[in-house]
Structure 1
């Protein structure tokens, strides 16, 4: 243990990919956990782009005061096509060595972890991943940082949409984020009592959607609410509306796309606690000699997952929740 602590003297931390509420709480936890064992911490702005272009700033406990409640990320985020190349990663590695950084904490999703895994494999850097994405699609953790906040943002918005839908007896198609996964769409549909949820994981038959909506309207429901994941193969809420509008021309149909509102705002208490746990855990596992791993929480216990496993496949939806959504329509 002592030898491992001596080896890790300076940590770098970055956020990459899509932002998610709670990233700041994770940064704060990394810095404060590192300070308790006298480790120096550099924040790297704009993700892997900043790693290549030397956007390094030293962080201390004062630097991360009053950020736990803020959405977004104080370190900013960006995509980097250059980092996808070996030449780009060589530049990044040289900059890490220039600042004597011998361990890197990467906060983000599968793209972030893929980049960190390449850096560890090609240049021997100690890398630990902290899962932060509103999509909740990373295996090795029950929830990712930002998912609960995005879920509650969507929930609040859809509840308000339901109010106006009932007042005017309208049909609303509400699109939520989820290009490849339907976690937000599925759980918000259950929590808001939506009539239908269309998910990327399930094949959507437009004629079946029409039939189900007709059945609901025959049952004299005052309004209908359909939650559509943006990645559903129908093409999202706007294209779905175009495909079914002729069959429901006598109803007032509206489309609402929630979009990036789901990424913003203060993180929920649940996300702040999760981010704090995982940020502190990332420092601890580095000191214990781990690398090329992701920290997560499964059944309320810390779990360490190899990065290669974490990026190998998407987390699957809970099929009991899919059945529950259908049962409660």
Structure 2
């Protein structure tokens, strides 16, 4: 049984990271285990920016977006020398295990550290893209989807008033999950994602016919990995002659107070991660499958590519 563990958040921030870290800390303390917090992800680990935590350190944070521990990109962590330095900093403080909360890249860095040093590591999937293999859910994806829905609701009002086409670009460089679920629940006419090819000429023809038949507005939700919103908007305007506007949500999708789902699920995952790490388990990621907490092999999680649920893409076409 481990006596001292550390927790960090890494990569892009996502709402619910604070809830997860809070659960890790308080679960470990409840079990009589020492907990260290690492500021600013792997960069902070290399800079020895860490501190011993008490329960009060995670008070008043469950409702906050972002991450109180901070996060940063770290090129040095991609080298074996950098990872060995980070490992030594943990050993120097008697830290026996590490919980990493982050997305695909962060978990890949954790997997390499475990492989090279044998340090027990447990990961939690923290990314709004919901693209970690083996889990139906990642921390922050629900809040981000709701942020997009709020934007769609507002854009629909002005689109209808002016009979415009609105192209809304959302995050998702390699995954169309956010665009798909937000597009379905927001009633978008078109959802363009990197996983599926689309014919913009055919779409424009359909738009023109719909407007000629009296349609007042059209909403297009575009994942950033499926094309440039400004270029798509310009193409639609030129081909159809319909007044077309573009809105890029950007980093607003990462912020905001986490939803109930993100708070509760992140807390559940954090508790399980702490208990597993304390008991000596390693090289696993905790996620959700069909509403239940599941364990995923860390190596599998970072080497396999998660595919978008085909039922979502089918539903989007049916409801068009």
Structure 1 CA distance, aligned partners of 2:262 and 2:45?
A: 27
SS at match of 1:97: helix
Number of the residue aligned with 1:301: 292
Which shifted more, 308-317 or 65-74?
A: 308-317
TM-score by length of 1: 0.95
What is the 5 A alignment of 1:185-224? 185-224=179-218
1:310 aligned to 301, 305, 320, which one?
Answer: 301
How far residue 289 of structure 1 moved from its aligned partner, in angstroms, is 2.7
CA contact (8 A) 2:234 2:244 kept: no
1:240 aligned to 217, 226, 232, which one?
Answer: 232
Structure 1 CA distance, aligned partners of 2:68 and 2:215?
A: 46
How far residue 321 of structure 1 moved from its aligned partner, in angstroms, is 1.5
SS at match of 1:119: helix
Number of the residue aligned with 1:11: 5
Structure 2 CA distance, aligned partners of 1:100 and 1:25?
A: 25
TM-score by length of 2: 0.98
1:328 is the counterpart of 2:289: no
1:138 is the counterpart of 2:129: no
SS at match of 1:231: helix
Task: Please give the root-mean-square deviation of Cα atoms over the aligned residues, in Å.
Answer: 1.0
Structure 2 CA distance, aligned partners of 1:167 and 1:24?
A: 40
Structure 2 CA distance, aligned partners of 1:181 and 1:123?
A: 32
What is the 5 A alignment of 1:123-202? 123-202=117-196
Structure 2: runs of 5+ lacking an equivalent: none
Which shifted more, 287-296 or 271-280?
A: 287-296
Structure 1 CA distance, aligned partners of 2:138 and 2:290?
A: 13
Structure 2 CA distance, aligned partners of 1:178 and 1:296?
A: 20
1:57 is the counterpart of 2:64: no
CA contact (8 A) 2:165 2:217 kept: yes
Structure 1 CA distance, aligned partners of 2:191 and 2:291?
A: 29
How far residue 288 of structure 1 moved from its aligned partner, in angstroms, is 3.2
Structure 2 CA distance, aligned partners of 1:323 and 1:296?
A: 25
Number of residue equivalences: 320
Number of the residue aligned with 1:90: 84
* Residue-by-residue CA offset, 1:57-91 (whole Å, 9 max, x unaligned): 11111100010000000010000000101111111
Structure 2 CA distance, aligned partners of 1:217 and 1:323?
A: 25
2:112 aligned to 101, 112, 118, which one?
Answer: 118
Structure 2 CA distance, aligned partners of 1:179 and 1:319?
A: 18
Structure 1: runs of 5+ lacking an equivalent: none
